[in-house]
C-alpha cells in the first residue's frame, strides 16, 4: 500500500489551493478526484466573483475567510497566471424602497471591514450605461473582482504538481482505514492508500466523508442549484459586476462581465436532495431572465449562447462566534472525535474567494495537530501561464507562429483557439485528456457554433497526441465517448 503524509479528497478550487499550500513543505501529498478532471463541480459552475465581503454574516467564518482572502488574490493571480480583474461590484437599487436598503448593507460591510460607497443614480448610469434607467443608486464595493475559477484550479494544481504533489483523477473516495479513532489511510475505487492526515474537501459530498469517519453526524449538505445564462460577447457589453439588492436566501440574479468577455446572468437558488442534479428548468430560466431584465432591460434572448447549472454545497453548521445566530457557516476544523482528519465543508459562496485563506488555515490546523512543517528548499510559487493567441497583439502572434507554426493553425474560429494551445494543454503538468478538459482550459467551443466546427479536429488531436484510437476520446470521461466504432479502416 503506497504511503503519503497527507491525502486531499476533492479536486475543486479548495482542494487544489490546499494542495499548492502544502506543496511548500517537506510532505508527500496526494490529491484524489472522482471525476476525469479537476474542478468539474461547483468550481466550474459559479459566478466567478472574488467577493469584497460585504454580504457574509459578521462574525462568521465566511466573513473572516472572505476578509482575509480578498487581498490575497492579487499575489495569487500574479504568481499563477490566473486571469483576474479587480473590477469592483455594484448592488443596484431599483426604486426608493430598495435604495433605502443600501444603508443597512453598507453597515454590514463596515462590520466586515469592507470599504463601500453609496453612489447616485446618475453616477451608476455613467459607470454602466446599460443599467435600468429606473435605478435609484447603488452600493459600490471597489475590492470585488472577476476571476476565471477553473483557471484558478488548473494553475493551483499545476504549481502543486511542479512542487511534488501527486494527483489521481477518476479515483473515488470509498472509505477510511482507521486504527481506533485515528485515520491511517483511505479506500478508493483505485485501491487503498496509507496516510497520516486526510483533508476533506469533497464539496457537496463533504458531509458523507465526515460520516464515513463517524464524526459530525448532525452535519448535512443540502445542495442549492443555481442556473445561469451565458451570453455572446459580441451582443452586449457589461464591464462590471451588477448585483440586485439581496434577499434573505440569495444575493439575487446577477448580470456581470467575465475575464473571457462574455456576460454571465444568474444564478437562482433551488434546494434539491440530488447531489448530481445540474439540470436547467424552464421555470428557473424564466426566473433568471426576469431578474436580469430588472437590472439590464436591454438584454435580449438572441444574446444567449448556452445555459448551465451548478450546485452550492450549503451546510447546516452553526457559527461558533458567541452571540452570532447563523446556521449556514463554513466548517474548517480538525475533527474533534477523529485524529488525522481535517474537514473543509459547507464551502459555498464566498468559497471561491476564500480559497487561498482556507488553504492557509489548513497549514495552521496541521501545526496545531502536531505536524512539523518544514519548508522545501527551492519551493517555486510561480506557474507560467501558457500563451493565449487571442489575447496577443499582431506582432506577438507573428512571433509565436514563427517560433511554433502550430499556433498559426486555428481550430476554434469563434474564439480563435489554435492547435498549439490545444497540444500544450494535452501535455501540461495535469494533462487535458477530454474535449471538455480542453474547453475549460482554453475557452474553445464557447462561441456561437458551440464547438460544431472544432470538435472533430480536437478529437483528432487528442487521439494523435495521446496515442489513442479516436474511439477512446470522450467528452468528459468514461461513458461519454464520441465515436463507438470505426466503419472502415483509413490511412493516417
CA separation for the pair 258, 238 (Å, rounded): 9
Report phi then psi at 263, rounded to 5: -105, 135
Cα distances from 375 to residues 21, 26, 363, in angstroms, run 11, 6, 12
Compute the CA torsion angle 19, 25, 29, 33 (nearest 10 deg).
Answer: 0
What would the DSSP string read from start to end of 446-483?
-STTTTTTTHHHHHHHHHHHHT--GGG-BSSSTT-BS-
Q: Which three cell numbers, joined as nine digits, stand for 58?
A: 459578521
CA separation for the pair 409, 399 (Å, rounded): 14
Cβ atoms of residues 260 and 268 within 8 Å = no
Asked if omega into 350 is within 30° of 0 (cis), the reply is yes
CA separation for the pair 179, 67 (Å, rounded): 39
Helix (H, G, I), strand (E, B) or coil at 84: strand
Beta-carbon contacts of 215 under 8 Å, excluding residues fewer than 6 positions away, are 335, 336, 337, 338, 341, 343
The DSSP secondary-structure symbol of 318 reads P
CB count in 10 Å sphere of residue 131: 24
- The DSSP H or E segment spanning 29 is strand 29-32
Q: Residue 54 catalytic?
A: no
Q: Which residues are bridge partners to 313 per DSSP? A: 223
Helix (H, G, I), strand (E, B) or coil at 382: coil
Report phi then psi at 468, rounded to 5: -125, 155
Helix (H, G, I), strand (E, B) or coil at 280: coil
Could you give the residue numbers annotated as active site?
Answer: 51
Amino acid at each position: 500500500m503506497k504511503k503519503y503524509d497527507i491525502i486531499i479528497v476533492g479536486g475543486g478550487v479548495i482542494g487544489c489551493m490546499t494542495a499548492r499550500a502544502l506543496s511548500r513543505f517537506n510532505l508527500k501529498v496526494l490529491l484524489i478526484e472522482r471525476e476525469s478532471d479537476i474542478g468539474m463541480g461547483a468550481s466550474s459552475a459559479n459566478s466567478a466573483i472574488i467577493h469584497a465581503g460585504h454580504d457574509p454574516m459578521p462574525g462568521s467564518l465566511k466573513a473572516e475567510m472572505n476578509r482575509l482572502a480578498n487581498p490575497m488574490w492579487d499575489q495569487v493571480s500574479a504568481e499563477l497566471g490566473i486571469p483576474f480583474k479587480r473590477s469592483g461590484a455594484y448592488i443596484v437599487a431599483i426604486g426608493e424602497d430598495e435604495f433605502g436598503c443600501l444603508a443597512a448593507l453598507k453597515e454590514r460591510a463596515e462590520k466586515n471591514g469592507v470599504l463601500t460607497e453609496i453612489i447616485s443614480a446618475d453616477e451608476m448610469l455613467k459607470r454602466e450605461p446599460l443599467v435600468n434607467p429606473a435605478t435609484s443608486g447603488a452600493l459600490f464595493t471597489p475590492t470585488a473582482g472577476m476571476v476565471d475559477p477553473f483557471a484558478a484550479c488548473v494553475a493551483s494544481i499545476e504549481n502543486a504538481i511542479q512542487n511534488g504533489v501527486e494527483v489521481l483523477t477518476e479515483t473515488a473516495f470509498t472509505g477510511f482505514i482507521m486504527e481506533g479513532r485515528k485515520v491511517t489511510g483511505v479506500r478508493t475505487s483505485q485501491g487503498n492508500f496509507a496516510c497520516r492526515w486526510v483533508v476533506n474537501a469533497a464539496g457537496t459530498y463533504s458531509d458523507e466523508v465526515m460520516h464515513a469517519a463517524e464524526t459530525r453526524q448532525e452535519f448535512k449538505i443540502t445542495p442549492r442549484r443555481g442556473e445561469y445564462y451565458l451570453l455572446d460577447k459580441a451582443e452586449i457589453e457589461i464591464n462590471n459586476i451588477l448585483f440586485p439588492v439581496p434577499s434573505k436566501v440569495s444575493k439575487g440574479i446577477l448580470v456581470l462581465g467575465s475575464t473571457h468577455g462574455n456576460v454571465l446572468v444568474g444564478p437562482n437558488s433551488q434546494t434539491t436532495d440530488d447531489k448530481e442534479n445540474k439540470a436547467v428548468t424552464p421555470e428557473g430560466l424564466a426566473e433568471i431572465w426576469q431578474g436580469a431584465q430588472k437590472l439590464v432591460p436591454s438584454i435580449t434572448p438572441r444574446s444567449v449562447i448556452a445555459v448551465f447549472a451548478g450546485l452550492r454545497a450549503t451546510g447546516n453548521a452553526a457559527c461558533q462566534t458567541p452571540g452570532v445566530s447563523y446556521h449556514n457557516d463554513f466548517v474548517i476544523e480538525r475533527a474533534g472525535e477523529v485524529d488525522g482528519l481535517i474537514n473543509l465543508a459547507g464551502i459555498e459562496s464566498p468559497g471561491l474567494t476564500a480559497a487561498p485563506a482556507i488553504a492557509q488555515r489548513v497549514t495552521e490546523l496541521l501545526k496545531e495537530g502536531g505536524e512539523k512543517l518544514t519548508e522545501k528548499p527551492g519551493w517555486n510559487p510561480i506557474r507560467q501561464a501558457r500563451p493565449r493567441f487571442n489575447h496577443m497583439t499582431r506582432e506577438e502572434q507573428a512571433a509565436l507562429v514563427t517560433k511554433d507554426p502550430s499556433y498559426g493553425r486555428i481550430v476554434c474560429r469563434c474564439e480563435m483557439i489554435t492547435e498549439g494551445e490545444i497540444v500544450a494543454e494535452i501535455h501540461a503538468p495535469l494533462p487535458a485528456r477530454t474535449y471538455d478538459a480542453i474547453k475549460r482550459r482554453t475557452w474553445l467551443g464557447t462561441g456561437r457554433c458551440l464547438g460544431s466546427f472544432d470538435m472533430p479536429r480536437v478529437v483528432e488531436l487528442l487521439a494523435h497526441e495521446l496515442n489513442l484510437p479516436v474511439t477512446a476520446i470522450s467528452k468528459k470521461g468514461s461513458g461519454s465517448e464520441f465515436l463507438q466504432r470505426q466503419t472502415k479502416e483509413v490511412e493516417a
